[in-house]
Structure 1
Amino acid sequence: MCLINRSVRYSISSGWILVIMVLLLELGPSGGHEIIKFVVPAIADPRENANLICHYNMKIDHLYSAKWLKDDQEIFRYMPGQEPAGLSFPVPGVQLSRMPHCSPMACDLELTELKPTSAGVFRCEISTEAPTFRIAQQSANMTVAALPQRDPLIEGLAMRYMLADVIRLNCTSGPSLPPAELTWYINDREASFLDLEGPWESMPDSRGLTTQTLGLRLRAQRNIFLDNGRDGGTMRVQCVSELPLLSPTMQNRRHTTMMASLSPPPHLTNEKLHWPGSSASIISPSVKYVLLHIVLPMLMKTVLTRRSSCGCLI
């Protein structure tokens, strides 16, 4: 009876030990190594290099390999037990600026010559040695985009216009990737598409950046010049550039605002026809009377006197 009890107790103890060992193996990374710092820029500017960071804590485990992948394609592999320890692999859109700095604690990449094909999901994958070969990994998406570094440029705006003048304006965004979207506003209201021309896109530069130009064509009318109590009113035009497909929380909106005035039309008085800013005027009736009835007869009399004195025929 005693031997049976001992056998049962031994079986139970062995069973619990087996269960604990299985649980420890199944715990995965949380029970051993883990990635403690992982950085992939959400937006990478093609005018700069992009730094990808992966730091890890192996704890009681030993590093077998550290890998970087883009869209499930291996970019770089670090295996401290191999010679050479680091190997890079050709992947479209991925260009390493130098041999990555990797160690049993970290593996960082620096990407250069970024282009639209450089965008994708980047993953850092850490695995332990045999017999477990446990894997810890983290991934993040990187978008390649370049925000304009200047406000849009408005060209063609005069300081003053007369009624019925043609207003011809162009707005050009700063170089960007993807191309910026331009919007015209007149007195804080979006311009009608009937008044727009374009847009026109420039040829991409060496990094793939382009500029956009959007034209605005309309006639000077009273309804677009707001009365401000002086002259003929003022018009406020604004051009806004934004990058599509980017997060609305990003500061990707830039704008330029300019003003123009409407010259008032000429106005009549009972004496003269005045033109603002000009000294020209039509002769008043009183001055005309003096010229016709006093000055002109005196001139005629003088001419006749001189001709008669010299014996000339009229």
Structure 2
Amino acid sequence: MEPRSGQPAAAAVGCFLFFLLIALASEVFGLTGVRIWNPEAIRAGETLRLSCDYDLQGVPLYSIKWYFGDEEFYRYVPKESPPTRVFPLSSSTSVDISESNDHKVTLTNLPREMSGHYKCEVSADGPLFHTQIKESYITIIEEPKSPPIVFAGKLKYSKGEPVVINCTSYSAFPATNLTWYINDIKVTSQTKYSKIVSWIVPEPGGMETSKSRLEIKARPTLFPNGRMLVRCESSQFALYKKYTVTELAEDSPKLAQMMSPSTVLGGSRANSANKFVTNVVFALVACLASRIASSLFR
């Protein structure tokens, strides 16, 4: 019997063709186009709606799984009955099953601690069970209770004098962004003769305070009509924006008031005239007194 030396080669070719067909099938019928649609941020206590789009290329869906970090909170498996399963998250957050399906999931009453990465895992059915995961970061904000507070050392400034103004936005999560405007023009790192220093102060309980200091030299161009309007604006994403405006005045030297010569009450000429009038009055009085005395003694 002759050795069948060609059989291993044929088997190898067969295996190669098999895996090539699988690879081609995966290219033609594989899972593609997985994307997450979500808001960048929401307010604490609001509802979060997440959407996961995908293209199975004709292959049946095996499962959809949603995660917060690495913690699964929603699963959709069309072959199971019922197809949806939910898993607990925080004490206040829950999944609204009536608003969730194989493409979307709805979470209600989210606290700020639910800020983080949300993942969508899509798996196609067998025999390939292709799986893709996409994730997105979402911030749950808490707004400040009041507008920013602005404090200036004084309200009047002379030319060349340093102007220092402080702005504080208390108790927010995450810390608000503070932006300065002078006469409705934004102050940036390119603004001449100005400097901005900003920092964040952590508060007990996880809230944060934003602080910013604006330093600028007083110049006549900053005081149109003798006034400068300084605005500090506090913002969080596109959800929150409040501001406070303070008005500063130019402390320019005042010219001494000039008086008309007709109103001048002093001077050597006025004194001479006064003396002349006085002497004439005394002479008349003396003359009258002399005549009266002579008539009495006759």
The bucket for the TM-score relative to the shorter chain is 0.5 to 0.7
Matches within 5 A, 1:123-272: 123-130=119-126, 132=127, 134-144=129-139, 146=141, 161=156, 171-173=167-169, 177-182=173-178, 188=191, 189-191=193-195, 212=210, 224-227=217-220, 235=228, 237=230, 239=232, 241=234, 260-268=248-256, 271=259
Q: Distance in 2 between matches of 1:69 and 1:75?
A: 6
Q: How far 1:87 moved relative to its partner? A: 0.5
The answer on whether the counterparts of 2:42 and 2:139 sit within 8 Å (CA) in structure 1 is yes
String of CA shifts for 1:211-269, please: whole Å, max 9, x gaps.
646577x9xxxx943235999966564536577xx9xxx99999877653324334446
1:309 is aligned to none
Q: Distance in 1 between matches of 2:170 and 2:227?
A: 27
Q: Distance in 1 between matches of 2:115 and 2:224?
A: 55
Structure 2 unpaired stretches of 5+: 283-298
Q: Distance in 2 between matches of 1:10 and 1:147?
A: 71
Residue 84 of structure 2 aligns to which amino acid in structure 1?
G
1:108 is aligned to 104
State the secondary structure of the residue aligned to 1:84.
coil
| Greater share of strand | 2
Q: Distance in 2 between matches of 1:230 and 1:126?
A: 61
Paired residue total: 263
Q: How far 1:179 moved relative to its partner? A: 1.0
2:60 is aligned to 62
The answer on whether the counterparts of 1:155 and 1:171 sit within 8 Å (CA) in structure 2 is yes
Residue 134 of structure 1 aligns to which amino acid in structure 2?
F
1:20 pairs with 17, 20, 23, which one?
17
Identity level (%):
20
> What TM-score comes out, normalization by structure 1 length?
0.55
Task: Report the structure number with the largest CA radius of gyration.
Answer: 2
State the secondary structure of the residue aligned to 1:141.
strand
1:121 is aligned to 117
The answer on whether the counterparts of 1:231 and 1:263 sit within 8 Å (CA) in structure 2 is no
Q: Does 1:285 align with 2:266?
A: yes
Question: RMSD across aligned C-alpha pairs, in angstroms?
Answer: 5.7
Q: Distance in 2 between matches of 1:229 and 1:287?
A: 48
Q: Distance in 2 between matches of 1:14 and 1:233?
A: 93
The answer on whether the counterparts of 2:95 and 2:106 sit within 8 Å (CA) in structure 1 is yes
Seen in structure 2, the aligned counterparts of structure 1 residues 201 and 56 have a Cα distance that, compared at 3 Å, is closer
Q: Does 1:46 align with 2:38?
A: no
Q: Distance in 1 between matches of 2:141 and 2:6?
A: 70
State the secondary structure of the residue aligned to 1:45.
strand
Q: Distance in 2 between matches of 1:129 and 1:229?
A: 68
Residue 266 of structure 2 aligns to which amino acid in structure 1?
P
Residue 285 of structure 1 aligns to which amino acid in structure 2?
G
State the secondary structure of the residue aligned to 1:285.
coil
Q: How far 1:168 moved relative to its partner? A: 8.8
Structure 1 unpaired stretches of 5+: 273-281, 302-314
1:78 is aligned to 76
1:88 pairs with 83, 86, 96, which one?
86
> What TM-score comes out, normalization by structure 2 length?
0.58
The answer on whether the counterparts of 2:41 and 2:139 sit within 8 Å (CA) in structure 1 is yes
The answer on whether the counterparts of 1:94 and 1:111 sit within 8 Å (CA) in structure 2 is no
2:285 is aligned to none
Residue 177 of structure 1 aligns to which amino acid in structure 2?
F
